[in-house]
Amino acid sequence: MYDGAPEDEKREIFKAPAFIQKMVEKGLLGEKTKQGFYKKSKDDQGKKVILSIDPKTLEYGPQEKVKIASLEAAKAAGGTGDKIKALFYANDLGGQFTFRHMAETLIYSANRIPEIADDIVNVDNAMKWGFAWKMGPFETWDAIGVKKSTAKMREAGYELPGWVEEMLESGKESFYRREAGVLYYYDLQSKDYKEVPVKPGIILLPSLKEREKKVAGNTGASLIDLGDGVACLEFHAKMNALGDDIINMIVKTGEIVEREFDGLVIANHATNFSVGANLAMILFAAQEEEWDDLDWAVKTLQDALMKLKYLEKPVVAA
């Protein structure tokens, strides 16, 4: 990487730190040599343990248990954006690490336009589709707050890309914005927002809901009108575990679709289509010996699924 990027302003980052070079010289190469940053060993009682390397001495020792407050706050936060935000603005070691890492990443990404892409959309998509990021760099920047985060970066001595400064000075404080269910992105050439292109045939459920296409719903699921007589049942509970809310919406969906639609699609944009039954709910009921409630939940789920299976209208899970 170092030799292949002679003009890159961050070229020096690709140089391996001295302690890694020493590790290579000593043959501490990882799994192939049975020792690298970590080493499998046995303690005095013969129990298997994993030791970690001290980068200063290159000696192995027991792993230290570390508790970082900002990590606990991030775990408790809602979505990916809120988790990153909790870390980015924290003042402890986890916050300092996250801030430096994110500041470098976001500024570097902004400096790569138009070198590697003409717009922020393609940079974000490349990182999501090619490297499995949940959010692209500019989506992440929006999530932590562009104006607030850039102020923190300036205070830390970072130099922001000129076009980002220009965007903020013009009163635009986000890389993306959504209006009436349509997503727009900041375009460097026109210095204004343009509609994010969407390929024909692709349906974005959040966009439809913002355009008031939601027919019914609760905290666990929504029924959305896709048009052409087709409805979509979208799960949006935590990990889409099948709990009371989703089960109730399945029952309600069957009734509505039979009356008002020609067909049903069950789909969502989540990482997990559904992890299955809500095991936490089942465990709690069992621990409390609420056997009648547990029997009712099992029967209700079975009846709901059978209702979809034998619905008079076609049903597709996508």
Tell me which H or E stretch contains 217.
strand 214-217
- Whether 189 has a pLDDT exceeding 90, the answer reads yes
Does any domain span residue 135? yes
Co-location of 82 and 39 in the same domain? no
Structure confidence at residue 63 as a pLDDT band (50, 70, 90): very high
Structure confidence at residue 203 as a pLDDT band (50, 70, 90): confident
pLDDT tens readout for residues 287-298: 999 999 889 888
- Whether 26 has a pLDDT exceeding 90, the answer reads yes
| Other C-beta atoms lying within 10 Å of the C-beta of residue 316 | 11
Number of H helices, E strands in the chain: 12, 13
Co-location of 83 and 148 in the same domain? yes
Does any domain span residue 4? no
> Mean pLDDT across the stretch 62-91?
94
CA gap 106, 90 in Å, rounded: 18
CA gap 215, 221 in Å, rounded: 11
pLDDT tens readout for residues 118-147: 999 999 999 999 999 999 999 999 999 999
Tokens of 86: 């909790």
- Whether 235 has a pLDDT exceeding 90, the answer reads yes
Does any domain span residue 1? no
Co-location of 177 and 262 in the same domain? no
Co-location of 162 and 259 in the same domain? no
Give first-to-last CA distance, the chain, whole Å: 41
Structure confidence at residue 186 as a pLDDT band (50, 70, 90): very high
From the list 255, 203, 266, the residue with the least C-alpha distance to 231 is: 266
> Mean pLDDT across the stretch 107-114?
97
pLDDT tens readout for residues 247-288: 999 999 999 999 999 999 999 998 889 999 888 888 988 999
Co-location of 272 and 298 in the same domain? yes
Q: Look up the CATH number of the domain holding residue 120.
A: 1.10.1040.10
In the three-class reduction of DSSP (H, G, I as helix; E, B as strand; rest coil), residue 173 is classed as coil
Please check whether residue 233 is in contact with residue 266, taking contact to mean a CB–CB distance below 8 angstroms.
yes
Cβ-Cβ contacts under 8 Å for 40 (sequence gap 6 or more) = 34, 48, 49, 50, 51
- Whether 1 has a pLDDT exceeding 90, the answer reads no
pLDDT, position 109: 98
Structure confidence at residue 180 as a pLDDT band (50, 70, 90): confident
Does any domain span residue 209? no
**List of E strands, 74-175:** none
From the list 62, 43, 35, 59, the residue with the least C-alpha distance to 51 is: 62
Amino acid, single-letter form, for residue 197? P
- Whether 115 has a pLDDT exceeding 90, the answer reads yes
In this prediction the pTM is 0.79
pLDDT, position 40: 94
Structure confidence at residue 157 as a pLDDT band (50, 70, 90): very high
Does any domain span residue 252? yes
Co-location of 77 and 139 in the same domain? yes
Among left, alpha and beta (phi > 0; psi -120 to 50; other), residue 27 is left
Co-location of 106 and 176 in the same domain? yes
pLDDT, position 208: 81
From the list 249, 247, 252, 251, the residue with the least C-alpha distance to 297 is: 247
Co-location of 75 and 57 in the same domain? no
Does any domain span residue 276? yes
Domain limits for position 151: 71-195
> Mean pLDDT across the stretch 33-38?
96
From the list 119, 66, 125, the residue with the least C-alpha distance to 97 is: 66
Give the chain's domain count: 3
Does any domain span residue 201? no
Co-location of 166 and 237 in the same domain? no
Co-location of 76 and 173 in the same domain? yes
pLDDT, position 166: 98
- Whether 202 has a pLDDT exceeding 90, the answer reads no
pLDDT, position 44: 85
Percent of the chain with pLDDT over 70: 100
From the list 111, 171, 165, 169, the residue with the least C-alpha distance to 137 is: 111
pLDDT, position 271: 85
Please check whether residue 35 is in contact with residue 50, taking contact to mean a CB–CB distance below 8 angstroms.
no
CA gap 246, 240 in Å, rounded: 8
* Mean pLDDT score across all residues of the chain: 93
pLDDT, position 3: 85
Please check whether residue 141 is in contact with residue 88, taking contact to mean a CB–CB distance below 8 angstroms.
no
pLDDT, position 14: 87
Residue 292 phi/psi, 5-degree rounding, is -65, -40
Co-location of 78 and 160 in the same domain? yes
Q: Look up the CATH number of the domain holding residue 219.
A: 3.90.226.10
Block residue for tokens 């965007």: 167
Co-location of 82 and 184 in the same domain? yes
Does any domain span residue 271? yes
